[in-house]
Structures are given as C-alpha cells and as structure tokens.
Amino acid sequence: MRSVRIALALLTVGCLLIARAGRVEAAPVNPGDTGIAIDNTTFVPPTGDIVDTASQTVTLSFLDPSVPTPTNVDVTLNSQVLRDPATSRLTFVYSFDQSTATFPATMTNIANSLTLAAFGNFSTDVSSDTTLLIDRAADGSTITANSSGGDAVQLPIIAIATDATLFDNNGSANGTVSGDVPTAETGTTTISAPWTAANTFQPIVDDGGGGGGGAIPLPAGVWLGLVALAGSGAATKFRRKLNLV
C-alpha cells in the first residue's frame, strides 16, 4: 500500500508540474474576455514537439486618403503547432518575418490589430513578445490582439496554449497596421493596411469540427490532492526525489 501511495503522490506532483509548465508566463483568456493585458517582459518562447509548420506571404496595403494607389508591403506569416509530450496538448505559435519589409518611414503612433480563428470552447492561455491587450469573442471563436502607440512597425509573436489535442489548417487570420504620417494639408493623416490570411492552424474537436471543444476537468480527488501537496511542502520533497529541483 505504501508503494501505491507513493506512486499516486508522484503522479499528482507530475500533474502539478505539467499544469505549471508552459503556462506560467501566459495569461488565461476565456470566451467573452476583453482587455486582458499581456506582459511581454516575462515572455518565454514555448517548447514542445514540433507537429507542423507553415509559412505564407501576406500583403499589407497601406491606404493613404491623399494617394490613389496603395503602398504594398509583403511580410511572411509563420505558423507552428507544438505538442506537449507529457499531455499531448497543443500550442499554436504565430509570428511574422518582416526582415525584408519596407514600411512608410514617417509613420508614428503605430497600432497593430491581429485576429486569429477559430478557438471555439477550448481553453486558451496567451503569451507574446509584445505588450498587448487581448479580446476573445463571446463564443470563443476569435482571439484579437491589439497594440498601440509604437514608433516603428513591430509585428508580434503570439503563442496560444490550448487543451486541444487535434488540429487542422482551416483557420484564418486577419489584421490591420495603422499609423499617422505628416501631410502638408492637415499636418497629419492616418494610413492603414488591412490584410487577411487563410488556411492557418486551428484546434479541432475529435469529430473534426473546427474551432470547438471543451476542457476535460481533472477529477475532484486529484484537485484536492494538488491543494494538499501545495500546502504541505510534499511537492518539494518529491521534486527533490525526482531531481527536479
């Protein structure tokens, strides 16, 4: 019986460590949440087994009301799916390569908006290398990241950790980059560049439906065990036995 109790305790500690891993630097974002602040100073690039990657060119067409022809700027949208080897849960990472892009040099007060779909009822924890405010649609489907007040265009890296274990490439992304530029007539005017992308990665439910699903809660007994371990110091003892600390 003693060996069984030790095995159960080790399993519980493992669950505790897994729950902490990869999410400690992220902010939970639930359906209907608005204005969730992301602190980029604690950003840690997510790790895990690389399941899939994709890249596509997106064109930002800056529209200046005083100029009939838009200014097109190409950037690369990179998408990646990572799997936690311990839980099989997926993290979706979106980033941009703008190394060859030439943005309007005189832009100030730059704002970025990025919307990613579809995340349905999956739990999502969001982290980024950029200070952002995050909104999530009431039905959970879309996650929108906003930043403002920049002096240079810096498109973000966004990592979204989920409780999904399956995915497809039927998702979508869209956004807008905007800023103020000087003009002789009015002093400044705002220009903006909307863009869209199809076939991005999204989590799916077991039946293949996109952007849906629900979290699978741990049994009540396991949660009680986690609370007891966290309060008793037993977690530290077992981590030492496992050479984790």
Number of compact structural domains in the chain: 1
Q: What is the pLDDT of residue 207?
A: 61
In a domain, 48, yes or no: yes
Residue 17 lies in a domain: no
Range of the domain at 180: 27-215
pLDDT surpasses 70 at 21: no
pLDDT band of residue 5 (cuts 50, 70, 90) is: low
Residue 237 included in any domain: no
**What's the 3-state SS for the chain?**
CHHHHHHHHHHHHHHHHHHHCCCCCCEEECCCCCCEEECHHHCCCCCCEEEEEEEEEEEEEEECCCCCCCEEEEEEEEEEEEECCCCCCEEEEEEEECCCCCCCCCCEEEEEEEEEECCCCCCEEEEECCCEEEEECCCCCEEEEEEEEECCCCCCCEEEEECCCEEEEEEEEEEEEEEEEEECCCEEEEEEEEEEEEEEEEEECCCCCECCCCCCCCCHHHHHHHHHHHHHCHHHHHHHHCCCC
Compute the radius of gyration of the chain from its Cα atoms: 22
- The answer as to whether 225 is a domain residue is no
* Residues 45-74: tens digit of each pLDDT: 899 999 999 999 999 988 777 777 888 999
- Assess whether pLDDT exceeds 70 at residue 84: yes
On whether residue 228 sits in a domain, the answer given is no
> Does 239 score more than 50 pLDDT?
no
Q: Is residue 132 part of a domain?
A: yes
Residue 15 lies in a domain: no
Residue 233 lies in a domain: no
Q: Are 109 and 192 in contact (CB under 8 A)?
A: no
Q: What is the value of pTM for the model shown?
A: 0.74
**Mode of pairing for the β-strands spanning 90-97 and 158-162:** antiparallel
With tokens 């190394």, the residue in question is 99
Q: 179-228: per-residue pLDDT in tens?
A: 998 887 778 888 889 999 999 999 999 765 555 443 333 344 433 443 34
Are the C-beta atoms of 200 and 207 separated by less than 8 Å? no
